[in-house]
Amino acid sequence: MDEVAREIEGLRAELWAANDAYYLRDDPVISDYDYDMAMRHLRELEAAHPELDAEDSPTRRVGGAAAFSPVTHAVPLQSLQDIFSLEELDEFLDRCARAAESDNALLCCVEPKVDGLSVALTYERGVFRQGATRGDGVTGEDVTHNLLTVENLPKTLRGAPERLVVRGEVYMPKTAFEALNGRRESEGKPLFANPRNAAAGSLRQLDAKVAAERGLRLLVFNIQDMSGPWPAAHHETLDQMEAWGLPVIARSALAGKDALAAEIERIGETRGETPFDVDGAVIKIDDLALRGRLGATSKCPRWAVAYKYPPDQKPTTLLDILIQVGRTGVLTPKALLAPVRLAGTTVQYATLHNEDFIREKDIRVGDTVLVRKAGEIIPEVVGVVGTDRGPEAYSFPETCPVCGGEAARQPGEAAIRCLNLHCPAQRLRGLIHFCSRDAMDIEGLGPAGCELLLSRELVRDAAGLYALKIEDMASLEGFGEQSAQNLIRAIEQSKTRDLSRLLYALGIRHIGQRVAKLLAGRFGSWDALLAADLDALRAIPEIGEAIAASFLAWAALPSSQALIGSLKAAGVRMTADVTDPAPDGVFAGKTLVVTGTLSRMGRDEAHARIERHGGRTSGSVSKKTSFVLAGGNAGSKLDKARQLGVPVLTEEEWWVMIGGTV
């Protein structure tokens, strides 16, 4: 029994961690299929050992806790019970037939399961008033400002009832997702794993302009609540929503196991042809009165199930291994494959991760490899299948494929890098990164424009941007007089960005946004930072020897000194906005985790105030955590803090500790 209890606790911890990553950070740590399998196994163990059941089990809760302003759903947004075989579909239909006390085949609606972010939309007198995410099913996040940017979300409806709440799915079209990841890759940013996480991340942007740029779309599939009389059947509610002007999910109304199985198979075979990701088929009882009799559990309705498709993986031939060079010189291998159909799309490229992965799997050009696409847009090579092997082991290049310079692995790293700082590939990626939104934010100068400037030798590095003139830009393809003026104005405005933005924009290894803010906040100016030695840098919490040494090595290069000198001469700001965190502040030497919804401010502002009072913040709770600041609707992080005995602060207690000041 002790072994079973340990397995159950391990599964719960794994699933809560996966929930936190998926719903709150939009950064999944396991595949959808692995999550489904772990959840199913946990349900089976809890059913077999009811004495080990717990109210806070992930099998009893939906999704993640709210992170924006909380919205309580008048009608809970429940999740669906997953099934994975036609036998389980038979069991579901038989159970519903018994409740209906009928021998006739029940009419069901079958809909593609859109892999997006579930939302509830509220209309009053036909006017859109509020939109909220599902959250934990009872309390969601108010994302109205971002939903207003969704192009096909109607702001007004024709002939709608006095009050109407509908449920739908916000998704990012595949084409928009691929374009977004293409931009992020060119800027050296982490890629989104799939359109669902890209859509969720877009809806959680504080700046609605970011959401507006992402090309989000909506499909509605259910009436949650409304004033006035209801239709008798689900398919009638879908027809009614279409008549009001809402974009409604495609569906088929069918009866009989064979007809339903055929439709499930059809959706699975054609899911690659839809503009959105499909990770299953939803089967719903059509009769709304029967739904009422069937009822629901605390988490799932008993009148609907989601048939989940297994991961799609197939063998194909590895034709070649291509090497791409990133902004920091990392050589990344990509598989060129004989085209293979996966999840309805043709796949010709897949990730190979790094040299260690290729060596461990002994992957060779000419091998038959297994390629997987389990709800992920970016396919991956799983390993080698069969005995018909390529002629020889693959050798990772010792020189850069772009510039021919030396490529080597630094101690303690998995990546191999081009050591030539003047490599054209690095120069291009570096310039794109410098101009990106989170860096110097030069609006109107994207990857194509950067490539054009370098190819025409109008700039050699980032400092060259500040010498550009309107006539330089107006002569280039794609730029007219007005767009050239706008770009030169944007370049001029970028001179005012503070030191932390500049530090991040320079693309120094290990200097991300967080570290850049720490350095800028501690030293205040470039000259003060440059005067710091290794010990002074390491004295800053979170700055280890690797980060400090990386900065000092970069700053010592003649090319770096020349770049900074040119930027200074151009008038680029070299000072910080923020002041040094108080070394004797109330949180000096302490690590805090913020969870839940704060009433006075957003989470980013709370982090900033903690840091200004000498503390540091973390995204996860451990035994080393000093305090957990718990706002409303705090979830798994609060639970873990209690399990580990970490002190928990209410917002009021925290506010008193910082003196109710900045």
Consecutive 10-residue runs of the chain (662 residues): their mean pLDDT? 80 76 60 78 84 73 58 92 93 93 88 94 93 90 88 92 96 88 72 79 75 90 95 96 96 94 92 86 96 89 93 88 86 92 79 89 93 71 87 90 87 80 86 91 90 91 94 85 92 94 91 87 90 89 84 91 94 79 74 84 76 79 89 80 89 83 46
Kindly report, as residue ranges, where domains of CATH 3.40.50.10190 are found in the chain: 591-657
Distance CA 507, CA 523 (A): 19
Contact by Cβ (8 Å): 563, 462: yes
Could you give the C-alpha distances from 543 to 218, 534, 549, 556, 593, in angstroms and in order? 43, 10, 10, 19, 19
Place of tokens 């050239």: 484
Could you give the C-alpha distances from 398 to 332, 406, 600, in angstroms and in order? 13, 6, 55
Kindly report, as residue ranges, where domains of CATH 1.10.287.610 are found in the chain: 2-52
Distance CA 518, CA 544 (A): 12
CATH of segment(s) 2-52: 1.10.287.610
Q: Which helix (H) or strand (E) holds 96?
A: helix 86-100
Which amino acid is located at 646 in the chain? V
Q: Specify the 3-state DSSP secondary structure of 174.
A: helix
pTM equals 0.54
Phi first, then psi: what are they for 539, rounded to 5°? -70, -15
| DSSP structural state of residue 636 | H
Domain 313-397 superfamily per CATH: Nucleic acid-binding proteins (2.40.50.140)
H-state helical runs in 409-498: 424-435, 447-455, 470-474, 481-494
Class of domain 499-569: mainly alpha
- What's residue 662's pLDDT? 40
Enumerate residues 6+ apart whose C-beta is below 8 A from 140: 66, 70, 71, 73, 77, 119, 120, 132, 133, 134
Q: Report DSSP letters for 216-269, one per residue.
A: -EEEEEEEEEESSPPPSBHHHHHHHHHHHT--B---EEEESHHHHHHHHHHHHH
Buried b (16+ CB within 10 A) or exposed e, 201-215: bbbbbeebeebbbbb
Kindly report, as residue ranges, where domains of CATH 3.30.470.30 are found in the chain: 70-308
Tell which CATH architecture fits domain 591-657. Answer: 3-Layer(aba) Sandwich (3.40)
113 is catalytic: yes
- What's residue 437's pLDDT? 85
- Give Dmax (Cα) for the chain: 85
**Domain topology for 70-308:** D-amino Acid Aminotransferase; Chain A, domain 1 (3.30.470)
Kindly report, as residue ranges, where domains of CATH 1.10.150.20 are found in the chain: 424-494, 499-569
- Catalytic residue from among 113, 284, 373, 517: 113
Enumerate residues 6+ apart whose C-beta is below 8 A from 343: 271, 272, 312, 373
Contact by Cβ (8 Å): 107, 37: no
Contact by Cβ (8 Å): 466, 495: yes
Give the tokens for residue 88: 């389980």
What's the CA dihedral at 352, 354, 357, 360 to 10 degrees?
A: 130
Could you give the C-alpha distances from 54 to 5, 39, 187, 301, in angstroms and in order? 11, 14, 45, 20
Give rounded-to-5 percent helix, strand, coil for the chain: 40, 20, 40
Distance CA 617, CA 600 (A): 18
Tell which CATH architecture fits domain 424-494. Answer: Orthogonal Bundle (1.10)
Would you tell me the crossing angle of helices 257-270 and 86-100 to the nearest 10 degrees? 140
Handedness of CA 340, 345, 346, 347 (dihedral sign): negative
Phi first, then psi: what are they for 503, rounded to 5°? -60, -45
Give the tokens for residue 29: 């740590």
Kindly report, as residue ranges, where domains of CATH 2.40.50.140 are found in the chain: 313-397
Distance CA 131, CA 122 (A): 6
